[in-house]
Amino acid sequence: MKTEQTVEKRAVEIAAVIMVSAGLCRYSSYDKCRKASFVSERDCARCIKLWLLGKARKELAKEKEDKPK
């Protein structure tokens, strides 16, 4: 049974695939990737997706803190 995806989650998945296709990495140097010796496009997309979601969570938490009561 497939779970329904939210628009935001799908957008992050698309962004990750685009970043991998463009040859972008979350690290400043590809050598810093812990999986550099056995990385596939799928691994890179998953890594970038998790990184993007983590950054989004931090930004949302920061906005919540900055919001006046």
The one-letter amino acid code at 28 reads S
pLDDT in tens, 18-33: 988 888 877 776 667 7
End-to-end Cα distance, the chain: 42
What is the rounded distance in angstroms from the CA atom of residue 52 to the CA atom of residue 32? Answer: 18
What is the rounded distance in angstroms from the CA atom of residue 58 to the CA atom of residue 48? Answer: 15
49 three-class SS: helix
3 pLDDT band, cuts 50/70/90, is low
Query: Are 43 and 15 contacting, i.e. CB atoms less than 8 angstroms apart?
Result: no
36 pLDDT band, cuts 50/70/90, is low
- What ranges do the domains of the chain cover? 7-66
Summarize the confidence of residues 2-16 as an average pLDDT.
80
Both tokens assigned to 30: 């590809």
